[in-house]
Every structure is written in C-alpha cells, then in structure tokens.
Structure 1
Amino acid sequence: MVRLSRILLRLWVIARVLARHNALFLMERVGVAAPVVAAARLFVNRHAPGRPGQRLARALAELGPTAIKFGQALSIRSDLLGEDVASDLSELQDQLPPFPFAEARRIVESELDQPLESLFTEFSETPVAAASIAQVHFAITPPDAAHPKGRKVAVKILRPGVEAAFRRDIAVLYWLAEIAEAAQPSLRRLKPVETIRMFEDSVNMEMDLRFEAAAAGEMAENFAGDTTFRVPEVDWGRTSQRVMTLERIVGVPVDEIDRLVAAGLDPLEVIRRAANAFFNMVFRDGFFHADMHPGNLFVEPNGTLVAVDFGIMGRIDEATRRYLGEMLLGFLNGEYRRVAEAHFVAGWVPADQSVEMFTQACRSIAEPIMGKPLAEISIARLLGQLFQVTETFQMEAQPQLLMLQKSMLVTEGVGRTVAPTVNMWELARPLIEDWMVRNLGPLGRLREHFETASQAAERLPRILEHADRAASLMGADGLRLHPDTLKAMRPRRNPLLQVLPWGLVIVLATLLFVK
C-alpha cells in the first residue's frame, strides 16, 4: 500500500508537469491512470509554445534525470509516438546544473580511497560538462615513467543521489507499462514492459561507470590497429563505480566545418571514416556506439576520428546482422520481396501474414525514399517508416533494431552537417559491398552451414555421453518415469495413444543397447 501511494504521488507530480507544458498526450496515449490524467487536465496550459514533441521535451527536462533519459529512449520509438514527436525528443538536451566541487571531491576520494591531490596534480573545480547522470572535470595525473609531465585526463563523476531518484521513477514506469499491457492488448506488440526493462538495464549500466569503461575498452580492442578511428584509453587505476578517468582528447568537434578546413582536414574524408566506423561497429562487431552525436565525436589533427561517452551502447547478434544485410541489400536493389522474406525468416512478422502484402508495404515505403537524390536518401528514415507500418502485419517491436535505427539517424545527421551534398552510405559502399559478398554471397552461405555443422559436431560428445548414461540407468534399474509422465500416458480416447509412448521407449532402448 505504501509503495502504491508513492507511485500515485509521483504520477500526480508527473501529470501536473506534463499539463503545465500541454504535453499530457503522452499519458493519454498510454490510456492508464485515467483519474489522474482527468484531474491534471484542469491545469493544462493551452498557450504553451512549440510543437507537441518540443513541449514534451521541456516537460521531461523539468522532471529530472530519469525523465530526460526516458525521453531520449522514447526518441527511438517513432512507432509509438510518431516520427515528428520522436524527432523532437531526439533534440532533448541532457544538461543539468553542475553539483558543487566539494561534492565532486568527496565522491572521488571516497571511491578511489585517496586524497584528490594524490590522484591528480591539477583538477578543475568547474566541470566542462554536466548531464543528468554525471559531470566531467579536466585533470592532470602525477608524472610517471610513461608520462614524465603527467597525463591530461577527463574525469567523469556520477551525480549524487541519481540512483535513488532513478529507482523511484522506474517503479512508476513499470506500473504504467504493466497496466497498459493488461488493459490494452493492442499495445502488447509494442512490448512496453520489455521496453522499460531495456531502459532500466541501459541506465543501470550508465550509473556504474566501470561498465562504461569496459565498453570503451571493448570497442578499443575492436578497432585496434585502425588508423582512422579510435577510442580514448581508460585509466583503470582511477576508475570505479562512480568515477571514470579517460585520456583527454585534443580534437575538433566533427560538426565544426570551418575549424576542420582550417586544420587542413577534408570533410568528405571525415564522413567516409565515420560511415566506415559505424558500419564496422554494427556489421563486423555487432557492438555499436548508440549515441554518436557531434558532441561525442572529435577529429584529431592527423584526421583520426575519436568517439567519447560510451554509456549507451547497442548489441546485435550475428543472425540479426545477416537479416539486416538482406534487408539493406533488398532495399538498395529494389528487391522488395527479399526484404519481406527476411522479416519472415527472422520471425519478426508472424508466419500467418501475407508475404505478398508485406512486399507491397515495403515497396510503398521504399520507393518515395529511394527515388530521392542520392544525398537525400536516409536508410535510417526508411527503417523508421517500416517500423511504423508493421502494426498492420502484427509485427512485434524489436527494441535492438529501434536503437540501431536511432543511431543511424544520428550518424546520418552528422554526415549531412559535414558534407550536405553526399550520402555517407554511398561513401561506405565499397565496405558494404565487400561485407555483403563475404556474408550473403555463396561463400558466406557455405561458411554459415559449415559453422552450424561445426557447432553440432561440438555438441555430439555431450549427446553421446547423455545417451550412454541413459543406457546405463536403464540397464541397472530399468526406466523410471515421473508419475506425471505415467499419468499423461494413460489412454483417453484413442487406444493407439496408450501403446505409442511405450513403443517409442522400446525403440529407444533397442537403439541404445544394440551392438
């Protein structure tokens, strides 16, 4: 009862803020907590400026860290909110006033169990960035053999109290999602509870900076030896759950064109490298940076791209990568049935739906986009519109694909900012074609079948071991069946059902004992 009271109280606060910004439509669409929504309508500000998505973004920013993160997560759900609202939420600024330096010092010294002066010879009292989860300070480490003058680093510190605030708000979101699924079966295909669970997992990872450091380390390994893209080095000795220390980057933000040109860098080459890096993350590694906006991507003086902020990452398994490859190849070549069949093979669209009708839907989405001038073609927007029409075909939401679509949209935005007259995917075409030949061509199919056979061969010894154990048990004590199994074997209507299980047992025993 106490928990429910807390949820309802927080829900009322949320509803009041949404009403003040004329953004109650978010709760109205979910269709739950009708009394709370009805009461909040009394406080609606009809004169709140901006588009619905902009008003919603301002309301979420006022509600604090969890709401800001939730708004960013909703920005990938154009299937739920519509493309215009989702697009406006993607502009939601993850900024909050910084917390005091004294608090930053306390957290660093508590987490790393040393005085701040022992850890750093210099430490900026004013943060260079302050977001909903953490803020960043510049610092310099003491001299050592590798860095005689000390090393310039960036220190990320978790915002105090953010975990408790998140636990309070996530309980409200789960409550709403569970009621929505129970009260509105039509929403189940959108997986609201699973979406909240993924959101919770993502933010929990962000609130443990060791996980972010590990993500940076994994991506650094994936791009080891690549001279076009790299990741800052983690200082593990100065990293803990609430503190992370990374090599400080000296470079130009990727969207500052004048500075890039002044530094003698070719914007076209910068975008080619960004496209190649993103493609390698997704299709080669299945592990991608899910928030690669201009503020998280820098260009070093030698032209190397450097990404920062690894709190939001995405993963795609190998099978899904192949299905995505089939989809992209089908769209690029105008083979819409191939696109449709990829959905059915992946199990994203139920088997009882019409392949022909889904092919027609794919064509209706792709033709207006693929028919545009090359520089205006957006694969991310194509995927987004595809997800919007899938309700007709009872396609369940695929959260991992929605995150990928949002990441592609952000990356394409970077490309259009830096080189408006080119298409970044066209720049990456040689890499894309090479991957498709190796993975979707005859040799790729052969390798896939070989890998499947190899996995089966690896399991064979365990299968034989279990079979031998079963044979020994049957030879020593006979075949012992659970009472429920015996009950299930009793005849009901057809006498054949009575003897069939025993016939199978006899055949199995014969095979096991045959010499």
Structure 2
Amino acid sequence: MRGPHNILRLIRTGATFERSGAMGVALDALEAPPRLRIAARVLGWPFRWLGYKGDPNLPPVTRAITALGPAYIKFGQILSTRADVVGTELAGQLRMLQDRLPPFPTDQARQIVAAELRQPVDLLFSEFSEPVAAASIAQVHRARVRDSGREVAVKVLRPGIGAAFRRDIDAFHFAASIIEALSPGSRRLRPRDVVSHFESVVTGEQDMRLEAAAASEFAENTRGDANFQVPRPHWPLSGRRILTSDWAEGLPMGDRDALIAAGHDVTHIATRVVQLFLQHALRDGFFHADMHHGNLKVAPNGDVIAYDFGIMGEIDEYTRRIYAEILMGFIKRDYRRVARVHFEAGYVPRDRDEAQFARALRAVGEPIFGADASQISMASLLAYLFEVTERFGMRTQTQLILLQRTMVVVEGVARSVDPQLNIWEAARPVVSDYIRSNLGPKALARDMARVAQTVGRYGPLLPQIVEHALWDRAHPDGVRPPPQPRARVPLWLVALLSLVAGAALGLGLG
C-alpha cells in the first residue's frame, strides 16, 4: 500500500548508508555536488540509529545495499559494471552483488524443487550440489539428471522474494510521487513511469516459466551467431519457481586476469560482447537486458556464453531504426543527423531549436572520438547528457529504458575486459549492416509488401468499405443502407490503400 508509511522506508535507506559508512563513499564515487552532499548528510545523520546494520565484513556500500534488499541490489549490479563512473575499487566491491550474495539453505532449495516438480529430488537428479552462485532473485545449484546423466544448472527462486520486492517498489513509487510533487520539472523524466516499468520487469523475473520461454526464444534467434552460446532450458524439469537448463562451463567474464592467462584475446571478446548486444537489439528486437559480468562466461574455445534470461528487452521495428540512425549519426559524427532523428521521432519537443540541440550533442560526442578510453570520464559525459535532456525538455522514453540501461551495462562489461576498447568502432560494422538492410530500397519493398498483406487480410470487406464510403459521400444526410459489418474509412484512404496494395504486391513479387 502506497502511503506516508513509506517515508520510514526511505529514511531508513539514507540511515543505512550513513550507519554503514557508505554515504561518503557513494557521494565521492559519484562526484556529487556540494549541495547534494549536504542534503544527504542532513537527512541521513539524525536517523542513523534507524539504519540496518548489515554485514560488517563487507565493504561499506556493498554492506548497505545488501542490507536494504533485492530492489537496491538490482541498482548495485548496474553500478558494478561502471568502473568508469564509480571507480575501479567500488565497482570491484559491488561485483559480488552479481552472483556472490549469501545463499539460502540447500535443504530449503531441495524442498522447493520437490514441491514444484512433485517428485523427490533424488529421483530426478543423481547429484545436487550446494549453491554455486546466489543473486538477488535466485540461486543456482549444479546437478546431474538421473535419467540422461546430463549436467545441468538448477535455478531456484528465493523464498519470500515477491514480498520483499513489493515492499521496496512500494517505497520507490511513493518517492517518485513526492519527487514529482516537489519538483514539477522532474515530471519530464516520468519517475513514476520509470518505477512502474522497473516493477513490471522484476515481477516477470520471478516466474521461471517466463524465463524458460525467453531462453528458448533467444536460443532460436541466435543459433546462427558466431562465437555465442545460449544454454537451453529443460522444460520437464522447470516450473514457476525453478528453472533447469544446460550447464555452461567457462571462465567468468569479470575475471580479466584469468581470461588472459587462459590465452583468450580480450579485445576480441570485449568487441564481441558489444556487437552481440547490438545484433540482438537491432536485428531481432529481442535482447538480453541483464548482461552484467555475473550472467556472462567465456567458453574454453573463446565463445561468449550468456545465461539468466529473467530480464529481456523488446523493441519494435520503428524504434530499432530510430536507434540505429542515432548510433550511426554518432559514429559518423553527423550531429545534425542525430538531432534531426530525435526531432522526427518526437523525443525532443518541436518548439526547441534543432541546430542548438545538434551542437549540444556534439559536446557529448566529440570528447569520445580520438581519445584514449582511459581518458574519458563517463561520469562527466553522463552528467552533461542529463543537462542536455533537461535543457531541451526531453521526456523519458519508457520503451527505451531497458535498451539504454543495457547499453550502459554492456559498455561497462566490455571496457572491464579491454579498458582500451573503442565502443564506437566496435559498434560500427553491426550498425552499418543493419542500416544497409533496413533503411534502403529493399527495406521499402518489404514494408510495402507487409502493407499489402495487411490490406489483403481485409480483402473480403473491401467491397463493403468502398460501397459505404461512396454512399456516405453521395448521401451525407440520406437514409443509410441496412447495418452490416463495416469500417468507416474515408474514400481517399480506400483509394490510397488500393494503390499501395497494388504497388506493394508488384514490388513483393518482382
């Protein structure tokens, strides 16, 4: 229930950061301005005694986040990939949030598996290990299927995780409402919509059947992708609270030293991570939206292995084309093109100046090109980009939240593997191929063929549509024909659809 009782939850958040010693560390890492530092200390210090103690053996920020619960852990996972934003030391500390959280007892996991599959664990698996990884939503056990002898990973949902998330998200909704009420300028960022989007994502992540379906679809989409593997789900051994899939053997993506020691080409791996994400987002419109280090491995042959498909992103074809044009504009340093696409897509209000927006984008992009990756302050770039969105009244595009978030995470992962990676050069071939395939004459022909197919499905109704359109035009105040299933379509639109259908059929068959 959303209400003032959530004030205590928000105060406790600040108090926990203050009590654990994380407040100063976090503010320093994010290079917070003086006003924010003062406000945070004033709000946190008096209520320090209300904060959760957490595990004193953990570093301060990690200690605070783990004490606050799963929703906060999700944000910490994102920050763990951005050493360029929070610093190498803090990013390394936060990396434990990806798969090294305290597990729940194995006996409890076995009970959940037995209840979900309605058979004792020992009848299903000849081996069932202690937890090998534990994250905010679930933990993983290594097992062997008794019937086939196949080695698998059994992912088990944490008990009570739904209630814990609802409590946190309830507080987030309340905070978003307060922010919008106190700061009308923040409404363009749509904080309540952002929280609602986050809520829908994590709610879906708690049903392992949906994750199994996502893994299956993702595996089918990517079966032809070079140097990429997706563990397939085992449907008979999966349910709402458990997911059984192929075991993925490989080195953790986050262990750069181990990758080098094993003889892997870290530059190739980093480049491949970026390119795979863009291929899936642009080509398929269906992509892994939680690609942090804990969900990626490198196989002995150098293939990238992705797993944990609880959060998947999906974008329509129109948005994909817009996104590709924006990326290509940055790659070619054509900031006028980037600005124009933003205006055409409605991301920037029409009353703003396109030329000024293009110059603001140039200030974002130019520091990246020609600079060594280690010299780029991503924190400064993100801060300036936020200023640009505020200056030009850009509203948050909720359909792009997962895409933008994943791009930030993927870049962070790639640069942790190869700190000198040029993200734009890695992206260029994928974006160029997509634009050639989807923004030229062939793409136009495909679009028109789809229009023809759509019109064709309504073929049996076209005579009635034409008849009623002609009758309405000739007798605007007269007696209408007897009611029949029909669509009220203007005559000019009927003629246009007919012409488009004919042209599309010609292009599609030619």
TM (norm. structure 1) is: 0.76
Aligned position for 1:341: 340
Distance in 2, matches of 1:3 and 1:405, equals 28
CA distance in 2, matches of 1:178, 1:61: 25
Cα distance in 2 for residues equivalent to 1:384 and 1:203: 27
Q: 1 CA distance for matches of 2:4 and 2:338? A: 49
Which one of the candidate residues 116, 121, 130 is aligned to 1:111?
116
Q: Is the 8 A contact 1:152 1:248 kept in 2?
A: yes
Output aligned runs, 1:353-432, within 5 Å.
353-373=352-372, 385-423=384-422, 425-427=424-426, 429-432=428-431
Q: For 1:280 and 1:374, locate their aligned partners in 2 and report how far apart those are by CA, in whole Å.
A: 23
In 2, Cα distance between the equivalents of 1:376 and 1:465?
67
Q: Give yes or no for contact 1:384–1:405 (8 Å, CA) kept in 2.
A: no
Out of 431, 443, 455, the residue aligned to residue 457 of structure 1 is 455
State the partner residue of 2:300.
301
Q: Which residue of 1 aligns with 2:36?
A: none
Stretch of structure 1 that moved more, 106-115 or 60-69: 60-69
Q: How far did residue 382 of structure 1 move? A: 6.3
Letter in 2 for 1:138: R
Shift of 1:211: 1.5
Specify which structure has the bigger relative contact order, considering alpha-carbon pairs within 8 angstroms and separated by 6 or more residues. 2
Count the aligned residue pairs: 461
- C-alpha distance in structure 1 between counterparts of 2:411 and 2:294, whole Å: 14
Structure with larger Rg: 1
The answer to whether 1:127 aligns with 2:131 is: yes
Q: Please show how residues 170-189 of structure 1 align to structure 2 within 5 Å.
A: 170-189=169-188
Aligned-pair CA distance for 1:62? 1.6
Q: Which runs of 5+ in 2 are unaligned?
A: 34-39, 54-58, 473-477, 496-510
CA contact (8 A) 2:339 2:357 kept: yes
**2:213 counterpart residue number:** 214
| 1:400-432 deviation per Cα after TM superposition (whole angstroms, max 9, x unaligned) | 434333323333333334344443553454333
Q: 1:376 to 1:291 in 2, by over 3 A?
A: farther
Provide Cα deviations, 1:166-207, integer angstroms capped at 9, x if missing partner. Answer: 222222221222232233211111111111111101111111
The aligned residue for residue 102 of structure 1 is 107
2:466–2:491 CA contact under 8 A, matched in 1: no
* Separation (CA, whole Å) in 1 of partners of 2:144 and 2:152: 6
Query: By how many angstroms is 1:394 displaced?
Result: 0.3
Which stretch of structure 1 is more off in the superposition, 335-344 or 291-300? 291-300
Whether the 8 Å contact between 2:292 and 2:413 is mirrored in structure 1 is yes
Distance 1:222 1:268 in 2: 25
> Displacement, 1:434?
2.1
Q: Distance in 1 between matches of 2:421 and 2:314?
A: 28
Residue from 140, 146, 157 that aligns with 2:144: 140
Distance 1:12 1:275, change over 3 A: closer
User: Secondary structure of the residue that 1:343 maps to in structure 2?
Assistant: helix
Alignment of 1:147-226 (within 5 A): 150-226=149-225
- Between stretches 195-204 and 417-426, larger displacement belongs to 417-426
Residues 468, 116 of structure 1: alpha-carbon distance in 2 compared, 3 angstrom cutoff:
farther
Q: Rate the CA distance shift 1:104–1:317 in 2: closer, same or farther, 3 A.
A: same
Contact 2:2–2:174 (CA under 8 A) maintained in structure 1? no
Contact 1:253 1:297 in 2 (8 A): yes
For 1:373 and 1:13, locate their aligned partners in 2 and report how far apart those are by CA, in whole Å.
41
- Greater alpha carbon shift after TM alignment, 290-299 vs 371-380: 371-380
Question: For residue 131 of structure 2, what is the amino acid of its counterpart?
Answer: P
Gaps of 5+ in 1: 30-35, 49-53, 145-149, 480-503
Judged with a 3 Å threshold, the aligned counterparts in structure 2 of structure 1 residues 407 and 465 are, in CA distance, closer, same or farther, namely same
For 1:83 and 1:422, how far apart are their aligned partners in 2? Answer: 16
Q: Is the 8 A contact 1:380 1:406 kept in 2?
A: no
Instruction: Write the letter of the residue equivalent to 1:134.
Output: A
* Identity between Structure 1 and Structure 2 (%): 44
* Deviation sequence 1:248-284 (CA, Å, 0-9, x none): 1112223445544555543344334333322211111
- Taking a change above 3 Å as real, the CA distance of residues 384 and 235 of structure 1, as seen in their structure-2 partners, is farther
Which SS does the other structure have where 2:131 is aligned? coil
1:155 aligned counterpart, secondary structure? strand
Single out whichever of 210-219 and 417-426 deviates more from structure 2. 417-426
8 Å CA contact retained: 2:270, 2:421:
no
Deviation digits for residues 479-511 of structure 1 (CA, Å, limit 9, x no counterpart): 9xxxxxxxxxxxxxxxxxxxxxxxx99999xx9
Supply the distance in 1 between the matched residues of 2:163 and 2:46 (Cα, whole angstroms). Answer: 31
CA, structure 1 residues 119+356, in 2 after alignment: closer, same or farther (shift >3 Å)? same
Superimposed CA distance per residue, residues 445-483 of structure 1 (whole angstroms, 9 cap, x where no aligned partner): 63465257436634754566566678699535799xxxx
Q: Provide the C-alpha distance between the structure 2 equivalents of 1:258 and 1:4, rounded to a whole number of angstroms.
A: 49
Compared with structure 1, are the counterparts of its residues 68 and 261 closer, same or farther at alpha carbon in structure 2 (3 Å cutoff)? Answer: closer
Alpha-carbon distance in 1 for matches of 2:466, 2:81:
49
Structure 1 pair 364–270 and aligned structure 2 pair: CA distance change class (3 A): closer
> Any idea what SS the aligned residue of 2:366 has?
helix
Question: Would the aligned equivalents of 1:380 and 1:409 in 2 still touch at CA under 8 Å?
Answer: no
Structure 1 residue 391: Cα displacement: 0.6
Assess if the C-alpha contact under 8 Å between 1:73 and 1:199 holds in 2.
no
- 1:480-499 to structure 2, matched below 5 A, reads none
**Offset at 1:162?**
0.9
Q: Distance in 1 between matches of 2:180 and 2:249?
A: 48
CA contact (8 A) 1:135 1:158 kept: yes
Q: Equivalents in 1 of 2:359, 2:366: separation in Å?
A: 11
Distance of 1:453 and 1:320 partners within structure 2 = 18
Secondary structure in structure 1 of the residue aligned to 2:367: helix
2:441 to 440, 443, 453: 443
1:116-166 deviation per Cα after TM superposition (whole angstroms, max 9, x unaligned): 111111111x2011222111111110133xxxxx01111111111111122
What displacement does 1:105 show? 1.4
CA separation in 2, counterparts of 1:379 and 1:211? Answer: 35
Q: Does the 8 A contact of 1:154 with 1:248 survive in 2?
A: yes
Structure 2 letter corresponding to 1:123: F
Equivalent position amino acid for 2:132 in 1:
V
Q: How does 1:319-334 map to 2 (within 5 A)?
A: 319-334=318-333
CA–CA distance in 2 between the matches of 1:446 and 1:475? 40
SS in 1 for 2:159: coil
Q: Name the amino acid aligned to 1:139.
A: A
Secondary structure of the equivalent of 1:303? coil
Query: Larger deviation: 65-74 or 189-198?
Result: 65-74
Aligned to 2:280: 281
Structure 1 residue 108, shift from structure 2 partner: 0.8
Quick check: 2:124–2:145 contact (8 Å CA) kept in 1? yes
> Counterpart of 1:396 in 2: which secondary structure?
coil
